[in-house]
Amino acid sequence: MAAAISKTVDMAARAEMAATSRNRLLSTPALVIITVFGVLPLLIILVYSFLKAAPYGGVEWRFSTDAYLNFLFQRDIFDDTLQFTPDFLIIYFRSAVYAVATTAICLLFGFPTAYFMATRPPSQRNWWVLLITIPFWSNLLVRTLAVMFVIRDEGLINHALMALHVIDKPITMLYTNFAIMLGLLYSYLPFMVLPLYSSLEKLDFRLVEAAYDLYATKRRVLWRIIIPLSLPGIVAGCLLVFIPTLGAYVTPLILGGGTHLMIGDLIAQQFGTGRNWPLGSAQALILMAAVLIALHFYSRAAGQVKHG
């Protein structure tokens, strides 16, 4: 009897080891891709951020912390003293304001949209999801150019307002903060709607009906039942909008005309016209650190939702 039990345990252990080896083998291609195209570029950027900038682009293989020092300070050309310059901080702060505002407005518009989709008959929901995902059928650059053609001085909006005699001359919308915000909202609103819809679709609306039967108002139902139960979708949607908006490059470049710099444009300039690769690498790592902080708060919020 003991021998049979031992043999069974041995066979189970072998089967588990075989399954583990098979899983490792199946995950090898994904690990290779992540390492080659994810980890190694980050390591290169990390190394470059601690090197000396070459005069005409590239790096000199000498250790230096000037990239991180130049993020906050600039050396005086006459006495070589350090002076605090908040220029980069202002750009980072502007990008954070854009990201927070875009996330808040996307949530404001995305939640009712997702709730409407989730309360449609099951036969209609897929069509609404299709309509939300239609913008993804085209490239981000094409969508941004489409927004530019709509809001420019000779665009559709100004043309319609002038035809209706609402205005006498075009309203300047392009190359303004409004244009950047509009482009960001148009680009990232689906990233808010889809997680919210996925969360609200699983909501047991019998709880809502029970709350109404107990004479709860619509506001109390919203704040005490619907929003708490859809909180995972809210957190996921906010994260999916905030992170890419923080590092947006195409939208502020085209709709802002290059006069309203955001972090993505700033980093691209360091690798392009600025020819300061270490500084660009340091700025990219600082941005990544900000994203990691956001992910940390997301994981904490998700954990509280799960255990709450």
Q: Tens digit of pLDDT for each residue in 18-43?
A: 666 777 777 788 888 888 888 899 99
Looking at the predicted structure, is the pLDDT value of residue 1 above 60?
Answer: no
Model confidence band, residue 9 (pLDDT cutoffs 50, 70, 90): low
Cβ pair 196, 227 in contact under 8 A: no
Mean pLDDT of 3-18: 62
Q: What global pTM score does this model have?
A: 0.83
Q: Which of 47, 74, 101 is a domain's end point? A: 74
Model confidence band, residue 12 (pLDDT cutoffs 50, 70, 90): low
pLDDT tens digits, residue range 44-58?
Answer: 999 999 999 888 878
Task: Specify whether 147 is located in the same domain as 288.
Answer: yes
Burial class (CB in 10 A: 0-12, 13-18, 19+), 268: middle
Q: Which of 10, 39, 74 is a domain's end point? A: 74
pLDDT at 58: 83
Task: Specify whether 266 is located in the same domain as 170.
Answer: yes
Task: Specify whether 41 is located in the same domain as 128.
Answer: no
Count of domains forming the chain: 2
- Any domain includes 54: yes
Please give the residue that has the higher pLDDT: either 2 or 268.
268
- Any domain includes 102: yes
pLDDT at 26: 77
pLDDT at 182: 93
Task: Specify whether 62 is located in the same domain as 196.
Answer: no
Where residue 106 sits, what CATH number does that domain have? 1.10.3720.10
Please give the residue that has the higher pLDDT: either 205 or 96.
96
Task: Specify whether 7 is located in the same domain as 145.
Answer: no
Task: Specify whether 209 is located in the same domain as 288.
Answer: yes
Radius of gyration of the chain (CA): 26
pLDDT tens digits, residue range 199-214?
Answer: 988 888 888 888 887 8
Looking at the predicted structure, is the pLDDT value of residue 306 above 60?
Answer: no
Cβ pair 301, 235 in contact under 8 A: yes
Task: Specify whether 152 is located in the same domain as 273.
Answer: yes
Stated as kind and residue range, the H or E segment containing 299 is: helix 277-307
Task: Specify whether 144 is located in the same domain as 252.
Answer: yes
Please give the residue that has the higher pLDDT: either 153 or 11.
153
pLDDT tens digits, residue range 280-298?
Answer: 999 999 988 888 887 777 7
| Residue 283, both tokens | 């700025």
pLDDT at 13: 63
pLDDT at 284: 92
Domain with 66 in it:
2-74
- Our CA angle for 193, 196, 197, nearest 5°, is 80
pLDDT at 153: 87
pLDDT at 294: 74
Task: Specify whether 62 is located in the same domain as 161.
Answer: no
Task: Specify whether 107 is located in the same domain as 55.
Answer: no
> What is the b/e burial string over 213-223, where b = at least 16 CB atoms within 10 angstroms of the residue's CB?
eeeeeeeebbe
Task: Specify whether 26 is located in the same domain as 103.
Answer: no
- Any domain includes 82: no
Proportion of the chain above pLDDT 70, given as a percent: 89
Alpha-carbon span 280 to 187, nearest angstrom: 25
pLDDT at 223: 87
pLDDT tens digits, residue range 104-135?
Answer: 999 999 999 999 999 888 888 889 988 888 88
pLDDT at 190: 92
- Any domain includes 187: yes
- Any domain includes 278: yes
- Any domain includes 276: yes
pLDDT at 44: 92
- Any domain includes 50: yes
Task: Specify whether 109 is located in the same domain as 150.
Answer: yes
- Any domain includes 125: yes
pLDDT tens digits, residue range 183-242?
Answer: 999 999 999 999 999 998 888 888 888 888 787 888 888 888 888 888 888 988 998 999
